[in-house]
Amino acid sequence: MQFDSHVRTLLAAACALVDGLTPGHDGTTPYDVPRGPAAVAAARAALVSQGRASRVTAAQAAELAGWAERVRAVFAAGDAGRVDEAARLVNALLDDTSARPRLDRFDDGWSLHFHGPDDGVVLGWMAGIASALALVVGSAWAGRLGVCDADPCDRVFLDETRNGTRRYCSPRCQSRVKAAAHRARAAT
Ligand SMILES: [Zn+2]
């Protein structure tokens, strides 16, 4: 299944929002939720549409961090094969963001976009992200939501490989696991 560019933008934002605004580990480094200007920078870096970062206030960044926790739970459920749970979580996000589809006119024609009750940065983006996650969970791509397998890392990704074999958030985590396996073999 191919997602159009609007949905791909939203899924990239979902991953970046979780990675930027939820605590855990990035590789082997503990990751704390950034505060103040650092939280604003992380939110701006996540919410990029057509090369443009969104305007985000400190209060909005804090609000987005709360939503990011809920998006992380969807990735965790999808990664663990708990599709029913992922679907329930996404339905709750759709309800709470009042997500609605709408046809918008662009230079190259009409395109289906998702909106919130208003186009404020928080609900505007979160309604879109909830809708994009619904398209993933309600398709053969449900198992493509991933959490990095390279313990203790817990950064997230959408597996877009042909066979759905991606296990790590980044080449960095993949090579760390490979090197550890190599050392373990060499030691025996
Ligand atoms: Zn990782």
Domains of the chain by residue range: 5-187
H/E segment holding residue 101: strand 100-106
pLDDT of the residue at 118: 84
Span from the CA of 84 to the centroid of ligand 1 (angstroms): 25
- For the segment(s) 5-187, the CATH number from 1.10.3300.10, 3.90.1150.60, 2.170.270.10, 1.10.1760.20 is 1.10.3300.10
pLDDT of the residue at 1: 56
Report residues of the chain scoring pLDDT below 70. Answer: 1
Span from the CA of 154 to the centroid of ligand 1 (angstroms): 6
Dmax over CA atoms of the chain, in Å, equals 63
pLDDT of the residue at 54: 87
Span from the CA of 152 to the centroid of ligand 1 (angstroms): 8
d(Cα 79, Cα 75) in Å, to the nearest integer? Answer: 6
Rg of the chain taking only CA atoms, in angstroms: 17
pLDDT of the residue at 119: 76
**Predicted TM-score of the model (pTM):** 0.93
Span from the CA of 29 to the centroid of ligand 1 (angstroms): 10
pLDDT of the residue at 5: 86
Peptide bond into 152 cis (omega under 30): yes
Span from the CA of 141 to the centroid of ligand 1 (angstroms): 21
Span from the CA of 144 to the centroid of ligand 1 (angstroms): 16
Span from the CA of 38 to the centroid of ligand 1 (angstroms): 21
d(Cα 144, Cα 136) in Å, to the nearest integer? Answer: 8
Number of H helices, E strands in the chain: 6, 8
Span from the CA of 180 to the centroid of ligand 1 (angstroms): 14
Span from the CA of 118 to the centroid of ligand 1 (angstroms): 35
Q: What is the mean pLDDT of the chain?
A: 94
pLDDT tens digits, one per residue of 109-135 = 998 889 998 879 999 999 999 999 999
pLDDT of the residue at 93: 98
* CB-neighbour burial class of residue 161 (10 A; exposed 0-12, middle 13-18, buried 19+): exposed
d(Cα 140, Cα 142) in Å, to the nearest integer? Answer: 6
